[in-house]
Each structure stands twice: as C-alpha cells, then as structure tokens.
A and B are shown apart, each in its own frame.
Chain A
Amino acid sequence: MEMKAFLQEVTAKRGLPGDEGPVAQWVAERFGEYCDEVKIDAMHSVVGRIKGDGPRLAFLAHLDEVGLMVIKVEDDGSLRLGQVGGIDPRILPGMRLTVFGKETLPGIVGAKAPHLLSEEERGRAQKLEDMYVDLGLPAEKVKELVRVGDQVQLEHRFVELKNGRVAAKTLDDRCCVAILYRAMEHLKGLKHQADLYFIASSQEEVGGRGAMTSAYNAEPDMAMVLDVGFAHQPGCDRESTLDMGKPLITLGPYLNPVLTGKLEEVAGRIKVEVQKEVAPRGTGTDTDEVAASRSGVPCVLIGIPVKNMHTAVEVLDMNALEEAARLVAHFAAACEASWEEELWN
C-alpha cells in the first residue's frame, strides 16, 4: 500500500486513548506484511518485529488520537462532551462528529447562535460546556443508543492540497505510523543487524501510557521516537515553529547525544535534509517514558512539522514523510552492536 493511501485510511480509523482496538487491528495487519511477528499488547499498542542478531532497536509512533467523550445525554436528546486529550473547543461549532454509541452515529456540534448571545458572551469564545451534539434523533432514541462514556471522534476528511501537502485529523501521530510502515518497505532492500521493534503505541495523548508498557516488554537497547512538531503558521512565533517539508531532529537532555550524532551521520550520508529543535526539558512525547524504561533506554527523537495541531485540519508535507521514512530505514540498517559501547564514551 502506498504511504498516502495508508495515511488516508489510518487517519480515519477509530482510536481514542483507551479505545485503540480498531486502529490497532488495522495497523497490525499492515505491519504484518513486512514483520516476522506482530502482536497487539494489553494496552492496545501494536508491536511488530523484524528479527536481527544485533542490538534491540525500537521505533515508536503513537496510535491514539485526541477526541471527545459523551458526559451527559440531555432531555432534548442532545449530548454534552468532555475532552480526551487537548482539544481547543473553538474548532468544534458546525463540525460533523462521529459518536460511537450502540451504532455509529453522525452528529453536528451546535452552540447558541450569535444573535442570542449576551454582550458578555459575545466577547468570549464558547466553551465546551456551551456546546452540544445534535444527532437529529428524538430523545428516547438517543437514550437507547448513546451512553455516558461513549467515544466521539472529530470529523475525518483527507484533503490533498497543493505541493504534496495533505490535511486531515490525527496526522498527529499516525503520519509517523505511516513512516514506520514505509520504512519497513525500504528495509526489504537493506541489510540490518539490529533486532527491530516497530511500536505503534497507545494513550500518548493522555501521557505516554502505552509506550511505558511496550518499552518495558520490548526491552530495547536503543530507541527512536517519532512524533509531530509545530510547523510555522500565523499566531505562532517563528522561534518555536519549524518549516514544512523536512523532518526534524530534537535535541535536549532526554535525548542521547551520541545516538543523535549517529542519526545525523546517517542523514548526511543518505542526503536527508533535516532541521533541528531543542527541548530543554521534557519532550512531551513518548520519549519521556521510553528513555526511563527499565534501567534506561538511550533515545533519539525525530518529527514531522504539522500545522493546526490537534484540529481536524492538521496539515503536513508528504515530502517530509518520505524523507523521514528513508532516514528511519537507514538508521535501522546502520545500527550495530558497537554503538552501545560508544554511547557512553
């Protein structure tokens, strides 16, 4: 399957934190095309392995998505929502959501019309508690089909823009799952020594919880985490954002400098252009858990710049994905036993 087609399908799949079953199942099948063994663990993380005799090297990209949850069914049949992961409620009014009740139901987010707002309300953004989901169903029917705690997904559209850019929900971080898949394809034509683990981790959006147990199980000697970064856009300052089109490498105390050096060497050798950013403390990714797993795992962190992160219209450049996939594959192929000794010298 082509990477773009993979991305289109994988971004549509259901997989809020704690509910990654459907997306995990689909990803496990795709990973199975290239892996020697694939399993879905107790936390819904997908772990694919391509065997090797060398050090154990894990790659992690998270599987889950930010979304919403039903917290109340009102007497008029409308639903009230709570957040699962960080969502700016301002993206919601007028959006078509998917409610996973006893049946999968489309619903539209409503809020008070502007002409009904008081002077005070007009000046501020509507909060999540001011909004509701309209299922177009009578209240009795809603109560039959929907329960408090049911998961609600943002609207999914996969839109191809100019210059190889695409827009969809959940590019964070399924674009990096797509990179892993593409890297496996590249690896068919490469020799590798390392024992490779490809982990699509669960529950990152609520704090790296899937990565914790997957890293524990895989017990890697080294790891690369892949996640999205902030592409430049209006409303964000240049210093904290990145250019589209190139993958990024993150530097900082949670990342191993020698392993990062190896990664840069590989990038230079295969001519993958990268940009760098610095995370002076936590990285806000699975790295933070993986690096401290068991007795410690030296990590590198790469990423894809994305605009409008955590909205239904995240935008990325396919070229950055292609380049990142080459980098991942060649890094996997380059990894050898001697690296481990070098890491602390």
Chain B
Amino acid sequence: MELRTLTDAFGPSGYENPVRTLIRQEAEKRCDDVSVDRMGNLICRKPGRDRSKPAVAVAAHMDEIGFIVVGHTDDGLLRFRPVGGIDPRVVVSKWVLIGNDRLPGVIGAPPIHLQERDDLGKVLPFSKLHIDIGAKDQKEAESLAPLGSYAVFDTPYMEYGDGFVAAKALDDRVGCFNLLKLLEEEYDCDLICVFVTQEEVGLRGSHTAAFSLDAEIAVVLEGTAANDLGDVEERFHVCTPGQGVAVSFMDRASIADRALFKTMLKLAREQGIPAQVKRGITGGNDAASFQRGGRGARVVVLSVPCRYIHSANNVAKWSDIRAQADLARAFLKSL
C-alpha cells in the first residue's frame, strides 16, 4: 500500500474506521490471524519459526489529530475544538474535510482591514475560529454537520524538495506503513503487529492492547517532532530529517529499555542503516502503555523525524521512513 493512501485516509482519534478498514484489507493478505479488539485496535499475529524466542509486539497508531464539531452559529458556521494537541496558530486559513460525507470546509479569519493593531498581535483561539461549509443558517449547518462530527485537515500528499514528503497525519501513518511492510516477511520470533487507536487523546488504544497482547518486547514506530530549521537553537532540534530513524532513550511518557536502545544503535551501525539518537526528552507515545500494561514489557521507540507535526503539513524525509522499517526489520531478524 502506498503511503499516500494512508495519509489521505480519514481517521481522527475515536473514528479510525476508514484507516482500519484500509489496513485490515492489506494485513489480511499477509497474515492469517487478524482481529479487532473492543478499543478498535487491529491486531495481527504472526507465529514465529522458533517457539523459544520472545514474542515481540510492534505498534503504530492509526489515529490522527483532527477536529470535532461542538456547535453552530446563526449564520451557518461550525464551532469546533481540536481532537488531540493542535496549536490554534496552525489552523487559520486552512482546509478541512468534515464527517461521513467528507464535506469540504475552510477555517477563515477576519480580514486584516477590519482589525485593530492589538488584535493582530494576538493568537486566534479555537473559540474565535469557525469552519465554513457554505451552510446558509444554523439549521442547515446542524443537518450537514451535526454535533460531534469529526473533521481532519484536507492536505493531499505531496513529494517535494530533496526526497521529502508533506502530508497530513504522517504522525503516525508512517508507522502504519512500515508496520505493514514488516508483516510481509517471516521471522523466528512471534510477531504481533498492532495498529492502535486513540494515541493522540491519551494513549488509550495501546492501554488495552498492552493488557491483552502480553508481549515481552514492544517496539513502537512513531513520528516525532523535528525542530531543525528557523530560529531554534541547535540543542533544541531534537532530531534532524535526513539523519535517519531517531531512537529514543527517554521521552516524557517512558524510559527506553537500555539494552534495547543499545541494540538498536548497534544494529544500525553494523548494517549501515541511518539512525540518530533522539536528542531530547520530548513527547510521549504508546511505549508508555506497553511498558506498564499488564505484566509489562521491555520497550523502545523508533521515530521518523517530522517537521510541523500536528499541523496540516507534516514533513518527513523518505530516507528516514525507510530507515525506520529497515531497523525494525533488522531487529526482528536478529532475535
């Protein structure tokens, strides 16, 4: 499956259905044991050739940050709030798709001509932003996009520059894309590929997945924020697109298993897979759930560096996306 198909798919946290359907069709071609649990996690079990090896779960999240409709104005606009962590600065003058019919909508801003100088210096908060679908009045808006309707950024996948891709939801459809790649091969260890839900609203899918999977090792495939351009001091860059998959020693939600962390870097070095250490203790992801769910697991996170994460345009480099799959595969083969 192409990455484009995954990033263009609609899947805000809590409504991952279209993404799950796509992934399931693909996974079933590569795996005989595919199931969905009661949190909507898609679980693909692939028994290994050697029962003495540890069971390894590899996880990626299907959900993306998005929006949810919380009200309607007299003149037919939609009031909305973010689903997941979105800075209101990145939503002004952007395009969205809403609800089951994927209605196109735009997020406007008052014209510069009618604003006071002071107001131009302020951040427009979600309470002052609206989605316009062209509805004439409140009644029409309510019928077209009822309360609770989901929306996502409308950002067609684009390749640009020197091997870069810009799309919505690279966080974490790159992980989903690579997880499907891992399912194409056979390993000695038992492999459980799990596509989880609701990462962006509090690691909730992985919470229940960790409980039922009971893997000894969990590898999380993620996208993580890269701040390597503009006015950011080098020490806050965290990771750099083009320098390979980022291996975390710690983030705000979990501390990597030290041995796994070292193994990953060693494998990368030995096999010439581009890798970098994530140079910061930022973000948090499903590794926290796997580490502490049920009987616990040894965890490590492999991330694709991603600029402008949680905006309409996530930017990542193809060489890093490939390195994430290569390192995860090398690890599974090494067991």
Q: Which residues of chain A have a CB within 8 Å of any CB of chain B?
A: 76-78, 86-88, 90-96, 105-108, 110-116, 123-126, 130-132, 134-138, 141, 157, 159-165, 167, 230, 232-236, 240-241, 284, 307-313, 315
Contact = CB atoms under 8 A, between A and B. Distances in A.
Interface string B159-201: 0111110100000000000000000000000000000000000
Given A91-B109, A135-B161, A163-B136, A116 B121 contact: no
A315 B108 CA distance: 9
Contacts of B312: 94-95
Interface stretch (B24-32, B127-135, B325-333): B127-135
B232 A136 contact: no
A160 B104 CA distance: 7
B294 to A, nearest CB: 31
Given A112-B231, A125-B89, A90 B108 contact: no
A310 B115 CA distance: 13
Interface stretch (B10-18, B51-59, B91-99, B266-274): B91-99
A235 B110 contact: yes
A131 B309 CA distance: 16
Contacts of A165: 132, 134
Nearest to A129: B231
B259 interface: no
Given A112-B227, A136-B161, A138-B162, A161 B133 contact: yes
- The listed residue with most B CB atoms (<10 A of its CB), out of A126, A136, A161, is A136
A136 B320 CA distance: 14
Given A110-B229, A112-B227, A113-B225, A86 B112 contact: yes
Contacts of B287: none
Given A125-B121, A234-B73, A234-B130, A311 B109 contact: yes
Contacts of A110: 229-230, 307-308
A241 B111 CA distance: 11
Interface of B: 73, 75, 77, 87, 89-95, 103-115, 120-124, 128, 130, 132-136, 140, 144, 158, 160-164, 166, 225, 227-232, 236, 282, 307-309, 311-313, 315, 317
Contacts of A134: 161, 229, 307, 315
Given A111-B89, A136-B162, A93 B111 contact: no
- The listed residue with most A CB atoms (<10 A of its CB), out of B107, B109, B120, B282, is B109
Contacts of A308: 93, 106, 108-111
Contact of A93 (B89, B103, B162, B225): B89
A137 B161 contact: yes
B114 A95 contact: no
A7 to B, nearest CB: 15
Nearest to A308: B108
A167 B110 contact: no
A94 B230 contact: no
Contacts of A240: 114
9 closest Cβ pairs, A-B complex: A136-B161, A161-B134, A136-B164, A162-B134, A91-B93, A235-B110, A308-B108, A94-B311, A309-B111
